[in-house]
Amino acid sequence: MTSDSTAAPVPVPTPTGPLLRASSLSVVLGGRQAVQDASLTVAPGELVGLLGPNGAGKTTLLRAVLGLTGTAATTGSVETVGPVGYVPQRHEFAWDFPVDVAGAVLSGRTRAVGWLRRPRAQDRAAAEEAMERAGLTALRRRPVGELSGGQRQRVLVARALAAEPRLLLLDEPFTGVDVPTQDLLGELFGRLAAEGRGLLMTTHDLAAAARSCSRVVLLNRTVVAEGGPELLADAERMLRAFGLEVAA
């Protein structure tokens, strides 16, 4: 177990191909085309930013990768390698549930433990490691309902890390959190990528994406453009990705 969140990265055996390959992915929600013929990959060591306007299908795409689109009509194919961790938007977690930080993070091991089974020593060790990496060890006995917005975001990240994922999907992790939390998470995501993990992150924060991401994908129901973070400085393609005329 790492005893310091700034410790040297722990190498993760690196697959030879992408950790995520989504091909011609389309999702119809409530009769509306939420995602149309979208294809993207995430390779080991990449932090990919998924950007686009509200309603562009970013969250829907993440949920389709996870198989969480329910009865929605979904076509195309999704291939992933190894465990997948998911960090939802904060409003999707029941913060009034009577559980402390340690319990919330340990719940990220549910799939490995199995329902109605007691966590093993290795499950508790994975949860402790995740709390350390997210800077939560000192708050481990704090009820989650008493946490600040930034602390809650770190709980969701640690909960996903407890599953020891190769691929991490993050839905707006920088939204509504303070600058110290943004810095901590940005550094953590960089270390996870350096370990050979793959990260796909939706965000509205262009500055954070330019600073943190190795590659960006512009989505407006379909993939409009992708490339290095310098793409975010291309005014014409950014405007078109967000559904605006260049003259605007």
Question: Domains of the chain: which residue ranges?
Answer: 17-82+166-248, 96-164
pLDDT recorded at residue 6: 45
pLDDT recorded at residue 206: 85
**If you average pLDDT over residues 99-106, what whole number do you get?**
96
d(CA 177, CA 153): 8
Superfamily of domain 17-82+166-248: P-loop containing nucleotide triphosphate hydrolases (3.40.50.300)
d(CA 218, CA 197): 22
The DSSP-derived string for the chain is: --S-TTSPPPP-PPPSS-SEEEEEEEEEETTEEEEEEEEEEE-TT-EEEEE--TTSSHHHHHHHHHT--TTSEEEEEEEE-S-EEEE--GGGS-TTSS-BHHHHHHGGGHHHH-TT-PPPHHHHHHHHHHHHHTT-GGGTTSBGGG--HHHHHHHHHHHHHTT--SEEEEESTTTT--HHHHHHHHHHHHHHHHTT-EEEEE-S-HHHHHHH-SEEEEEESEEEEEESGGGGG-HHHHHHHTT--TT-
Is the predicted pLDDT of residue 231 greater than 60, yes or no?
Answer: yes
pLDDT recorded at residue 14: 60
d(CA 219, CA 227): 12
- For the entire predicted model, the pTM comes to 0.87
Residue that the structure tokens 């793959």 belong to: 198
27-61 pLDDT per residue, tens: 998 889 999 999 999 999 999 999 998 889 999 99
140-188 pLDDT per residue, tens: 999 999 999 999 999 999 999 999 999 999 999 999 899 999 999 999 9
d(CA 86, CA 12): 19
Is the predicted pLDDT of residue 95 greater than 70, yes or no?
Answer: yes
Of the chain, the percentage scoring pLDDT greater than 90 comes to 69
**Listed residue (108, 147, 144, 148) closest to 124, CA to CA:** 108
Give 237's Cβ-side CA count (13 Å radius).
16
Confidence of residue 211 (pLDDT cuts 50, 70, 90): confident
At CA 49, angle to CA 123 and CA 111, rounded to 5? 20
Phi then psi for residue 31, to 5 deg, are 80, 0
